[in-house]
Structure 1
């Protein structure tokens, strides 16, 4: 079956999937169930209701987009973006953007990760310092490595990445020191003065 025909058939199956009561959908996300390594759009439709799942071009930075799937596209607090390895199957990246309130479970932690968390809170959850990129460019503010900390292990076995952004009232002199395509430790004195917060959560499955 060609990729185009397979995608068409899958779309028909999604449309025929009966809605599932919202009460049965998860309250905390992880890399199991609808976002497991072998999940597809049909899985999303069964869990979140077919009426809440649609295809869209997903922003991926530098003005580019890729075809993907959006859950709750019209509700910023519930929105989830998904990019796929195959034709709407096998998640590549699950993106919880700024404004979306979904928390993400991490193995061994009672408290999930959520947008709005501070740099200090994330470092405490990780159990040790971590590295992130400087601000002020399209790939700025991303956690590059958890350095063997607890956030290396989101529930389900995928990879967790967070994007941080400085608040509007961040001190300009400190912010100037942590801008650009450079890696910084979460313990960097200027980074701590800036006090960035989480504005995006990504769960990724390698190919």
Structure 2
């Protein structure tokens, strides 16, 4: 699939103060690859190697602008040998995902974009604060990608019982404790199902 010139220009420019919004196309399309990233960003800006993964593991990833935390993109592949079949792409803080969701947003702000409540996992463990979308505006995105977020609490006020939003449990975005701890988005990624499970 050819990469549209306007998208290439957008992704090569320094990120503006207001987060630019990506779509599930071009570098972030279901058929993207390491080769496409090199074509878009230039070989000098693309690196592939082992990076830290969940629960103390390591995983292979391709990173763009690796030495610039404000612009760094990380791509993880289902097909590691060929660097194809995108599993997920982690976005930098200044880049918004589909729908305009970006790092720093509150739970209420994301719920408003989605148009209805969603769920996340409780805080305080390796998968804590992870949110996905089974319904609403963020559940059925153009291009077929899946939006994935992680929220983190700003603080736990003294004397507040936070058991209902911590640990391996499902937490509704309507839970008022999420506002009490000022939970904010700190991770935004888009991804695709394994090729064996695609329609």
Q: Normalized against structure 2, the TM-score is what?
A: 0.82
Offset, 1:174: 4.4
2:77 aligns with 84
2:167 aligns with 180
RMSD over aligned Cα, in angstroms? 2.0
Question: 1 or 2 for the larger relative contact order (CA 8 Å, sep ≥6)?
Answer: 2
1:52 aligns with 45
Structure 2 alignment gaps of length 5 or more: 12-19, 195-199
Q: Return the match for 2:151 from 147, 161, 164.
A: 164
1:69-108 equivalences in 2 (<5 Å): 69-86=62-79, 87=81, 88-96=83-91, 100-106=93-99
2:141 aligns with 154
Q: Normalized against structure 1, the TM-score is what?
A: 0.79
Number of residue pairs matched by the alignment: 178
Offset, 1:101: 1.3
C-alpha separation in 2, matches of 1:56 and 1:127 = 39
1:118 aligns with 106
C-alpha separation in 2, matches of 1:139 and 1:47 = 32
2:197 aligns with none
Deviations 1:156-186 (A, max 9, x none): 211111000001x342424443110000101
Deviations 1:77-123 (A, max 9, x none): 001111101121121111125xx3111223xxxxx111111111001
C-alpha separation in 2, matches of 1:23 and 1:84 = 21
